[in-house]
Structures are given as C-alpha cells and as structure tokens.
Structure 1
Amino acid sequence: MSRKKMVRFAENEVNPNVIQAGKPIFETIKGHWNDSQFQNQNPIVVELACGRGEFTVGLGREYPNQNFIGVDIKGSRIWKGSSTATAEGITNVAFLRTQIQNLSEFFGEGEISELWITFPDPFPREGDEKRRLTSPRFLDMYKPMIKSGGIVHFKTDNTGLFDYSLELVKSREDIEVIAFTADFYQSEMKDDHHGIKTKYEKLFSDKGEKIKYLKFRFIA
C-alpha cells in the first residue's frame, strides 16, 4: 500500500463523516442516521457508487436542508469527498464505506427519501446481470429502504445498461416511471442537477458521450 493511501485511510478512521468498519457507529447506524450522524430530521438522500464524492458533496452544497450519504467501498476515493466536505464545513454530508450489496444492513425501512445510482459498472455480460445496480435483485433490496413516494435517479453513459434498466422498470407493476431521456444535457431536466458532474460523467461528456437519465418511484 502506498504512503498516500495509508495517510488517507488513517484520516478516514478519525473523520466523523466517514462511517466504516471499526467505528462503533458502523454497527448501530441502521435506522438512526438522522439522530446519530446528522442530529436533525431532514430527508436522507443516498448516492451509490459515489467514488470521489463530487456529486454527493455538490448536492450537499445546493441543498443544506437535506442530508446526503455517499456509498462506496474504496476508502481512498471516499477520503476525497470526506476531506472536501470537512474543509468547506459541509455538515450535511457523510460517507458509508461498504459493499452496495450490504446496503440493507445500514438503512432501516423508509429511511431513504431519494436514491441516486450514478454511472455504475454496466456489467455487460449476460451472466453478470445480477451484479448490475438496476437488476431485479438490487431493486428489490432498495424498495423497503425508500420511503413511500421516494424517488430513484439513474444516470449512465452506457446505452446497453440504460436500455436494460428502462425496459425492466417499465415492466414492473410496483414502479412508476416519472421521466427518462437518452440525452440528458439536451433535455429540460438538466438544470435540476445544477451542473454537478462526477469525474466520470465529465470524462464521458467531454468525449461526446450522451448521458442517459431515468427517474422513477416505487408505488406498491
């Protein structure tokens, strides 16, 4: 392990906005994010596969009356978002270091108001479908954690994953599709995101890739 990573991991261990194994709160946070982490009752918004946390922190800046949690397994990436939030005094942002398949261990029923799935690995091989973050396995996991009427946002540059996800959610009786577009930055929805881009979204956009976006909710 490089010295830089060692320093970052050490800072994650003491930064209060990083929830990870080894901290007492890691074992008790489920159902208690508002009281234990944020000390308020504001809505909780979760970003999956948050990477360096650009989007999580950006949303935190724009919406001080909501709480934002970025989820990723890579401690060195989470460190960047954590450090940025700390340096800017953004107290409504936190990061959870865990595998996304373990998400239900950290959020109680109806604890999440909105969920963002931003540029996940597309896992294009047919045999890898269950690993896609919009597969039935994951949708069924998210459903009880999201409050009634809560919104799920999905953004990707991958056409195959977008088409798969859109077809899947349209086929489910327990999901209502609110909006979708195959060219987000040419759509009327782009201003709702305040120009906040992840590192990978900027990379894809700069290469001319069209960003796809899907917005839906669970209704039953």
Structure 2
Amino acid sequence: MSRKKLVRFAQNELNPNVVQAGKPIFEEIKGHWNEKQFQNPNPIVVELACGRGEFTVGLGREYPSQNFIGVDIKGSRIWKGSSTATAEGIANVAFLRTQIQQLEDFFGEGEISELWITFPDPFPRDGDEKRRLTSPKFLDMYKPMIKPGGLVHFKTDNTGLFDYTLELVQAREDIEILAFTHDFYQSEMKDDHHGIKTRYEKMFSDKGEKIKYLKLRFKD
C-alpha cells in the first residue's frame, strides 16, 4: 500500500465526518444519523458509489438545511470529500465507508428522504445483473429505507444500464416514474442539479457522452 493511501486512511480515522469500521459510531448509527452524526432533525439524502464525494459535498453546499451522506467502500476516495467538507466547514456532509450491499445495516426504516445513484458500474454481462445498483435486488433493499414519497435519482452515461433500469421500473407496480431523459444537459431538468459534476461525469460529458437521468419514487 502506498504511503499516500496510508496517510489518507489515518486521516479518515480522525475525521468525525467519516463513519467506518473501527469507530464506535459504526455499530450504533442505524436509525440514529440525525442524533449521533448531525445533531439535527433535517432530512437525510444519500449518494451511493459517491467516489471522491464531489456531488455529495456540492449538494451540501447548496442545501444547508439537509444532511448528505456519501457511501463508498474506497477509503482513499472518501478521504477527498471528507477533507473538502472539513476544510470548508460543511457540517451537513458525512461519509459512510461500507459495501453498498450492506446498506440496510446502516439505515433504519424511512430514515432516508432522497437517494442518489450516480454513475455506478454498469456490470454489462447478463450474469452480473444482481450486482447492478438498479437491479430488483437493490431496489427491494432501498425501498424500506426511503420514507414515503421520498425520491430516487439515477444518473449514468451508460445507455445499456439506463435502458435496463428504465424498462425494469416501468414494469413495477410499486414504482412511479416522475421524469426521465436520455440527454440530461439538453433537458429542462439540468438546472435542478446546480451544475454539480463528478470527475467521471465531466470526463464523460467532455467526450460527448450523453448523460441519462431518471427520477422516481416508491408508491405507498
């Protein structure tokens, strides 16, 4: 392991906005994010596969009356968002280091107000369908964690994953599609995201890839 990663991992251990194994809060946080992490009753917004945390931190800047949690397993990536939030004094941002498959171990029923799935691995092979973050397995896991009427947002550059997801949710009776587009930055929805782009999104956009976006909610 490189010295740079070791330094970043050590800083994650010290940063209070990082929730990870080895910290007492890691075992206690489920159902208690407002109380134990943020010390306020504000709505909780979660970003999955947050990477370096650009989007999580950007949303935190724009919406100080909400709490934002980026989830990723890569500690060296989380370090970037954690350090940025700390340096800027953004107290409504935190990061959870865990496998997304374990998400239900960290959020109680109805604890999440909004969920963002941003540029996940598309896992294009048919045998990898269960690993896609928009597969039935994952959608069923998210559903009880999201409060009634809570939103789910999905952004990707991958046409195959987007079409797979759109077809899947259109067939589900427990999901209401609120909006979708195959070209987000040419749509009327583009201003809703305040121009916040992750490093990967900017890379894809600069190459001419069209960004796809889907907004939905689970029915009561």
Q: Which of the five TM-score ranges fits, normalised by the shorter chain?
A: over 0.9
1:144 shift after superposition: 0.1
| Counterpart Cα distance in 1 of 2:41 and 2:164 | 36
Equivalent residue pairs, number: 220
Report the equivalent of 1:155: 155
1:13 shift after superposition: 0.3
Report the equivalent of 2:103: 103
| Counterpart Cα distance in 1 of 2:206 and 2:100 | 28
Counterpart residue type for residue 156 of structure 1 = T
Report the equivalent of 2:82: 82
Counterpart residue type for residue 147 of structure 1 = K
| Counterpart Cα distance in 1 of 2:30 and 2:178 | 29
- SS of aligned partner of 1:91: coil
| 1:147-171 deviation digits (Å, cap 9, x = unpaired) | 0000000000000000000000110
Report the equivalent of 1:209: 209
Report the equivalent of 2:112: 112
Counterpart residue type for residue 175 of structure 1 = I
1:82 shift after superposition: 0.1
| Counterpart Cα distance in 2 of 1:217 and 1:130 | 21
Report the equivalent of 1:136: 136
| 1:122-145 deviation digits (Å, cap 9, x = unpaired) | 000000000000000000000000
- SS of aligned partner of 2:117: strand
Q: How does 1:120-131 map to 2 (within 5 A)?
A: 120-131=120-131
| Counterpart Cα distance in 1 of 2:146 and 2:21 | 24
| Counterpart Cα distance in 2 of 1:160 and 1:2 | 36
- SS of aligned partner of 1:122: coil
Report the equivalent of 1:27: 27
RMSD: 0.3
1:14 shift after superposition: 0.7
Unaligned runs of 5+ in 1: none
- SS of aligned partner of 1:94: strand
- SS of aligned partner of 2:5: helix
- SS of aligned partner of 1:110: coil
Counterpart residue type for residue 11 of structure 1 = Q
1:113 shift after superposition: 0.1
| 1:194-220 deviation digits (Å, cap 9, x = unpaired) | 000011000000000000000000003
Unaligned runs of 5+ in 2: none
| Counterpart Cα distance in 2 of 1:83 and 1:74 | 14
Counterpart residue type for residue 42 of structure 1 = N
Report the equivalent of 1:191: 191
Q: How does 1:33-48 map to 2 (within 5 A)?
A: 33-48=33-48
| 1:174-203 deviation digits (Å, cap 9, x = unpaired) | 000000000000000000000000110000
Report the equivalent of 2:219: 219
| Counterpart Cα distance in 1 of 2:95 and 2:63 | 17
Report the equivalent of 1:166: 166
1:84 shift after superposition: 0.1
Counterpart residue type for residue 186 of structure 1 = Q
Counterpart residue type for residue 76 of structure 2 = S
- SS of aligned partner of 1:90: coil
| Counterpart Cα distance in 2 of 1:169 and 1:150 | 16
- SS of aligned partner of 1:162: helix
TM (normalized to structure 1)?
A: 1.00
| Counterpart Cα distance in 2 of 1:172 and 1:14 | 43
| Counterpart Cα distance in 1 of 2:41 and 2:170 | 33
Report the equivalent of 1:176: 176
